[in-house]
């Protein structure tokens, strides 16, 4: 074979390689690779024939052969999904048994995890989820909840007002608690009612380790015939046991909220020190063995009346809790601000 014949042969191989590549549906890439680039493939055999060609011409032909080989490898690689930028040196080889590239996954926010867990517990007890607006009317946030105008209890909640008036000419406000959803639900539904209502609330408060101007609450409302404080106690005890474990205990301390009578602060036995008075002073319960977690009570007759429910026929209980406080207890977070800073080192610890 002389140099001219060799070049013609090379050109013929390149042409039939192109035909094969364009017919990949009938010929698979591996078969094409073997036929043209394999150790006994057409190109390898042609390169072996170079030994018969005079040395002066052999070098240039060898370069032509190598260029053709690289070109074929790149085209085959592209077919198999190997990027051309990997260069001809990267022999196209795809090992499907290798593990994939890890990629960062997002996680749910600790508050969302906490809320989901709380919602699940109440769902088991028959409570469904209701929602209300963040920008609220004075009527729903205060008045229908038995806070008449100028009632001193309004001062308990430092309110952000909005420069928009409602239909009765009063300034709208950012809801200071989730309790207005009680009123909205009762006005829209016939009893029996069994709802929880999670969501964001706002108060004009300075930010510190246990306060924020925007935080989250979950409200609960149960209205039916003959609902009593005993039903409230049982419900909250079941809830706490489900969330914190079967050894959790609940106790009620008398308290005041205008929309319930009687009203109570509900405390749970300390989930950290388990109420052991003898050990070192627990920083969470301050050595008392109890943690205050909720406000609750029996729905005030004035609230039922505002919703056109006859207090002689219907009764109910209500409760409200801060979700941040639960998240801090569940995940051992000591400063509420950690829940808002979105530091991935914190967020990734909570699944
Ligand atoms: N809304 C109250 C607050 O934000 C919490 C609360 C107390 C809700 C007692 C209730 C309740 O439903 O019965 O401070």
Looking at the structure, tell me whether residues 141 and 260 fall in a common domain.
yes
**What pLDDT was estimated at residue 150?**
85
Looking at the structure, tell me whether residues 41 and 179 fall in a common domain.
no
Looking at the structure, tell me whether residues 55 and 140 fall in a common domain.
no
Residues in the chain: 351
Looking at the structure, tell me whether residues 284 and 345 fall in a common domain.
yes
Mean pLDDT value of segment 196-219: 95
Looking at the structure, tell me whether residues 229 and 335 fall in a common domain.
yes
Question: CATH number, domain at 260?
Answer: 3.30.930.10
Indicate whether 102 belongs to any domain: no
Looking at the structure, tell me whether residues 7 and 136 fall in a common domain.
no
Measure 312 CA to ligand 1 centroid, in angstroms: 23
- Whether the per-residue pLDDT at 153 is higher than 80: the answer is no
Mean pLDDT value of segment 254-282: 87
Q: What are phi and psi of 302, to 5 degrees?
A: -65, -35
**What pLDDT was estimated at residue 277?**
61
> At CA 127, angle to CA 123 and CA 131, rounded to 5?
105
Higher pLDDT, 98 or 309: 309
In total, how many domains does the chain have? 2
Q: 90-111: per-residue pLDDT in tens?
A: 555 677 887 777 777 888 999 9
Which atom in ligand 1 lies closest to the alpha carbon of residue 176?
4
- Whether the per-residue pLDDT at 3 is higher than 70: the answer is yes
Higher pLDDT, 113 or 345: 113
Which of 211, 320, 323 is the pocket-test mutation for ligand 1 (most atoms within 8 Å of CB)?
320
| Among protein residues, the one whose CA lies closest to atom 13 of ligand 1 | 296
| Among protein residues, the one whose CA lies closest to atom 12 of ligand 1 | 319
* Boundary residue ending a domain (71, 86, 101): 86
| Among protein residues, the one whose CA lies closest to atom 5 of ligand 1 | 320
Which atom in ligand 1 lies closest to the alpha carbon of residue 317?
13
Q: 39-89: per-residue pLDDT in tens?
A: 999 999 999 999 888 888 888 898 888 888 988 888 888 877 765 554 555
Measure 330 CA to ligand 1 centroid, in angstroms: 21
**What pLDDT was estimated at residue 279?**
66
SS3 for the chain, per residue? CCHHHHHHHHHHHHHHHHHHHHCCCCCCHHHHHHHHHCCCCHHHHHHHHHHHCCHHHHHHHHHHHHHHHHHHHHHHHHHHCCCHHHCCCCCCCCCCCCCCCCCCCCCCCHHHHHHHHHHHHHHHCCCEECCCCCEECHHHHCHHHCCCCCCHHHHHCCCCEEEEECCCCCEEEECCCCCHHHHHHHHHCCCCEEEEEEEEEECCCCCECCECCEEEEEEEEEEECCCCHHHHHHHHHHHHHHHHCCCCCEEEEEECCCCEEEEEEEEEECCCCCCCCCCCCCCCCCCCCEEEEEEEEEECHHHHHHCCCCCCCCEEEEEEEEHHHHHHHHHCCCCHHHHCCCCHHHHCCCC
141, 172 contact by CB (below 8 A): no
**What pLDDT was estimated at residue 91?**
54
Indicate whether 25 belongs to any domain: yes
**What pLDDT was estimated at residue 89?**
52
Work out whether the CA dihedral 50, 56, 61, 63 comes out positive or negative: positive
Measure 296 CA to ligand 1 centroid, in angstroms: 6
Q: How far apart are CA 68 and CA 9, in angstroms?
A: 12
Measure 321 CA to ligand 1 centroid, in angstroms: 7
- Going by C-beta distance under 8 Å and a sequence separation of 6 or more, which residues neighbour residue 57? 3
29, 80 contact by CB (below 8 A): yes
**What pLDDT was estimated at residue 283?**
79
| Among protein residues, the one whose CA lies closest to atom 3 of ligand 1 | 177
Per-residue pLDDT band for 274 (boundaries 50, 70, 90) equals confident
Taking CB atoms and a 6 Å cutoff, what residues make up the pocket around ligand 1? 177, 179, 219, 257, 260, 295-297, 318-320
Tell me the β-bridge partners of 250. 268
Work out whether the CA dihedral 148, 150, 155, 160 comes out positive or negative: positive
Indicate whether 98 belongs to any domain: no
- Whether the per-residue pLDDT at 120 is higher than 90: the answer is yes
Indicate whether 105 belongs to any domain: no
| Domain hosting residue 136, numbered range | 110-350
Looking at the structure, tell me whether residues 153 and 302 fall in a common domain.
yes
Measure 68 CA to ligand 1 centroid, in angstroms: 80
**What pLDDT was estimated at residue 78?**
80
Measure 26 CA to ligand 1 centroid, in angstroms: 73
- Whether the per-residue pLDDT at 206 is higher than 80: the answer is yes
Looking at the structure, tell me whether residues 147 and 289 fall in a common domain.
yes
Q: How far apart are CA 104 and CA 107, in angstroms?
A: 10
């Amino acid at each position: 074979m002389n140099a001219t014949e060799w070049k013609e042969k090379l050109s013929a191989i390149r042409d039939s390689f192109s035909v094969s590549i364009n017919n990949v549906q009938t010929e698979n890439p591996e078969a094409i690779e073997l036929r043209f680039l394999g150790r006994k493939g057409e190109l390898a055999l042609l390169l072996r024939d170079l030994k018969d060609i005079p040395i002066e011409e052999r070098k240039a032909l060898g370069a032509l052969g190598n260029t053709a080989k690289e070109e074929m490898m790149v085209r085959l690689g592209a077919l198999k999904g190997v990027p051309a930028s990997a260069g001809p040196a990267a022999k196209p080889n795809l090992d499907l048994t290798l593990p994939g590239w890890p990629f960062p996954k997002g996680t749910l926010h600790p508050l969302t995890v906490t809320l989901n867990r709380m919602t699940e517990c109440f769902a088991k007890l028959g409570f469904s989820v209701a929602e209300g607006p963040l920008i609220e009317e004075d009527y729903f946030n205060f008045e229908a909840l038995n806070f008449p105008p100028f009632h001193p209890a309004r001062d308990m909640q430092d309110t952000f007002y909005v420069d928009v008036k409602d239909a009765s000419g009063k300034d709208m406000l950012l809801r200071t608690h989730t309790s207005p959803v009680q009123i909205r639900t009762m006005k829209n539904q016939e009893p029996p009612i069994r709802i929880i209502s999670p969501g964001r609330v706002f108060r004009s408060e300075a930010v510190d380790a246990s306060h924020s101007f925007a935080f989250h609450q979950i409200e609960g409302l149960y209205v039916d015939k003959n609902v009593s404080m005993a039903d409230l106690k049982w419900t909250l005890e079941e809830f706490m046991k489900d969330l914190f474990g079967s050894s959790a205990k609940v106790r009620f301390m008398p308290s005041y909220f205008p929309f319930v009578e009687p009203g109570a602060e509900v405390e749970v036995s300390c989930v950290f020190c388990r109420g052991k008075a003898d050990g070192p002073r627990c920083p969470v319960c301050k050595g008392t063995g109890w943690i205050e977690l909720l406000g609750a009570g029996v729905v005030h007759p004035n609230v039922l009346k505002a919703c056109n429910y006859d207090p002689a026929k219907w009764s109910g209980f209500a409760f409200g809790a801060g979700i941040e406080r639960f998240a801090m207890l569940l995940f051992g977070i000591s400063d509420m601000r950690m829940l808002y800073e979105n530091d991935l080192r914190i967020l990734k610890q909570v699944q």
